[in-house]
Amino acid sequence: MNLTLFDWLIVVVISSLMIGSVLITKKYMRSVSDFLAAGRTAGRYVISLSQGMAALGSITIVGMFEMNYVAGFNLRWWELTTAVIILGITVSGWVVYRFRETRALTMAQFFEIRYSRNFRIFAGLVAFLSGIINFGIFPAVSARFFIYYCGFPHYMNVAGIEVSTFAAIMFILLAFALFFVFTGGQIAVIVSDFLQGIFVNVVFIIIIIFLLLNFDWQTISAGVNSAPDNASLINPFKTSQTNDFNFWYFLIGMIGLIYGKLSWQGTQAYNSSAKSAHEAKMGEVLSNWRNIPQWGLFLVLVPVVAFVVMHNPFYSVQANNVNSILSTVDSEAIKSQLRVPLVLVEILPVGLVGAFCAVMVAAFIATHDTYLHSWGSILIQDVVMPFRNKPFTQQQHLRALKISIFGVAVFIFIFSLLFQQSEYIFLFFAITGAIFAGGSGAVIIGGLYWKRGTTAAAWSAMITGSVIAVGGIIIQQLWKDFFINGQMFWGIAMAASSLVYVVVSLLGKKNEFDMDKLLNRGKYEIKTDKQTVSSIHLKGIKVLGIGKGFSNFDKYVYYISYIWTFAWFAVFVIGTILNLSNEVSNESWLEFWKYYIFINLGVSIVVITWFLIGGIKNIREMFSKLDTMERDQKDHGFILKENSEDTKR
């Protein structure tokens, strides 16, 4: 057993606090819209940090460890350009703002409003199937982490019966996640994910400080310099021998940021939970800061330190201990998932070993309660309910949602027991997610921004993306060393689906959709959805994405976001010019990454304090509104057939 009694005490205390936070939310869950979208009462800090925590998850932590052990700091260099694109997406409210204006509870409900009921059912089914297959390996990867990190035996004796520890851990953790969802629906998910997000980021910062105090930069330098010349972990211009996680992986991912905004439905409830479109937009802007402690710091430095431990002779004892355990594992894919966690067991002190275990428990529950809620809700809202001639009663609706969510949990439990993973986690994510996300991006963007987009185009684009992704999965199962990986299949699906959507729309009838009605604007405006704040002078700053709904503080958040992002982009431009015109030494790159880490560490401490204060205020306001507001029991996502486009043809 790798954890001491003190370590286990930390895990128990944090788990108990999570359960307590969920029980508090139970009394506020009084309607279907509460269960599905937290009554649309969430503020920007809660939305931003909770959604970020749900997207992080224990499997994502393991996946990032796996990826950055191979790529090192290099992807962060190329992502400095991505930051500009992300900023543009967030400050403009790209897709998020307009989707919230539709008041749809799910993406496929929007598809019915914009296209047709039949397309809603089809898209909902594709999203559901894509999602649960993608979701299927989550429990397995996490359970495997806990077995090796904690030092559990693979089997244990319970009342004379030999029980698989792997299955037992999955069962227990999934039961926790189900309890969270069933107790308070999306309200419980948002509140618990926010509190877990604060805890996780605090632990991340503490671990980073510990590593920086115990691994000086000369030690790190000696380790990373042992990588092959053209598979560097520190020089992004020397990565020609880096497989899979290279420049092309980054480029496709960058395109996917724009094309696939809101395409992935694993956290779909957050798309509808903000108290206004403006708060949804501000939550997106804040994500640029929320990600710094996680994606810009912890998930980069930890795998690099792990590489140092495994390749610097000074740590040969720790490396031998890790390798002796890995030698008992047959699958190379599983070995790559376990390597960094096993290094952490070797180098972290008592207390931090338990704290990181608690982090992974929180991350497991945050992702699983969110994804269980999302996929279970999509099946009922977008596949089952559209077949009905009348809506469920509230009691029937909530019961159906819970049964569906439970069914998803059973499926992923069985899938994790049976499926043999053979490739990197993030490549598996890319190709399985592309079953829906490959075609849905064109359908979403076209539906929200182009009045000429047609239903036939939506069908064509969605089918095109799905066929390419499924074909890629089949090819990879039959041809293990096929030269196109999961990320590349996603890129092909995006390009083909976009072309098909535009061509089919242009060749179809020249009908123009009523976008004001879709977005509840003009004569269709819903007063309660409009946020009124103090006015600011707008002359000359509209180009920055700042509009009439902005307070002075909102304006300052935008300004500082621009300054931060473009400062790093300037560093990227200057660094790229220097590298293309001169030979830049590894020592210079290491010096750059040292300053990068320390700057991000300082900013991370400020960000966590900022989000903690803002989030507590959001939760108090959220509970107050949920306690007093009058529920609309017809706000359940059901659309009468006479309002569906299918009846107009």
Say how far apart CA 67 and CA 245 lie, in whole Å: 7
User: In this structure, are residues 36 and 381 in contact, taking their beta carbons and an 8 Å threshold?
Assistant: yes
Question: 42 forms bridges with which residues in the sheet?
Answer: 274
Looking at the predicted structure, is the pLDDT value of residue 425 above 60? yes
Q: Which two tokens stand for residue 451?
A: 């009045």
Find the mean pLDDT for residues 32-58: 91
Give the tens place of pLDDT for each residue, 328-371.
Answer: 988 888 899 999 999 999 999 999 999 999 999 999 999 999 99
Confidence of residue 542 (pLDDT cuts 50, 70, 90): low
For 523, which DSSP code? G
Looking at the predicted structure, is the pLDDT value of residue 241 above 70? no
Question: 3-state SS of 39-79?
Answer: HHCECHHHHHHHHHHHHHHHHHHHHHHHHHHHHCCHHHHHH
Q: Which of 269-273, 373-377, 379-383, 547-551 has the lowest mean pLDDT?
A: 547-551
Mean pLDDT of the chain: 87
Looking at the predicted structure, is the pLDDT value of residue 609 above 60? yes
For 382, which DSSP code? I
Which CATH architecture does the domain made up of 5-423+513-531+585-648 adopt?
Up-down Bundle (1.20)
What pLDDT shows up at residue 537? 44
What pLDDT shows up at residue 245? 57
As a whole number of Å, the CA-based R_g of the chain is: 24
Give the tens place of pLDDT for each residue, 365-401.
Answer: 999 999 999 999 989 988 888 888 888 999 999 999 9
Find the mean pLDDT for residues 146-171: 92
Find the mean pLDDT for residues 203-224: 91
Say how far apart CA 179 and CA 19 lie, in whole Å: 9
Say how far apart CA 298 and CA 208 lie, in whole Å: 6
Give the tens place of pLDDT for each residue, 245-258.
Answer: 566 677 787 788 78
Q: Taking the model in full, what pTM does it have? A: 0.83
Q: Which two tokens stand for residue 66?
A: 């796996």
Domain ranges of the chain: 5-423+513-531+585-648
Sort strands 161-164 and 155-158 into parallel, antiparallel or unpaired. antiparallel
User: In this structure, are residues 68 and 304 in contact, taking their beta carbons and an 8 Å threshold?
Assistant: yes
Confidence of residue 496 (pLDDT cuts 50, 70, 90): very high
Say how far apart CA 385 and CA 392 lie, in whole Å: 8
Looking at the predicted structure, is the pLDDT value of residue 188 above 80? yes
User: In this structure, are residues 11 and 5 in contact, taking their beta carbons and an 8 Å threshold?
Assistant: no
What pLDDT shows up at residue 242? 60
Say how far apart CA 383 and CA 425 lie, in whole Å: 29
Higher pLDDT, 465 or 222: 465
What pLDDT shows up at residue 624? 95
Looking at the predicted structure, is the pLDDT value of residue 151 above 90? yes
Looking at the predicted structure, is the pLDDT value of residue 539 above 50? no
Q: Which residues fall within 8 angstroms of residue 250, CB to CB, at 6 or more apart?
A: 75, 78, 79, 82
Q: How many CB atoms lie within 10 A of CB 361?
A: 21
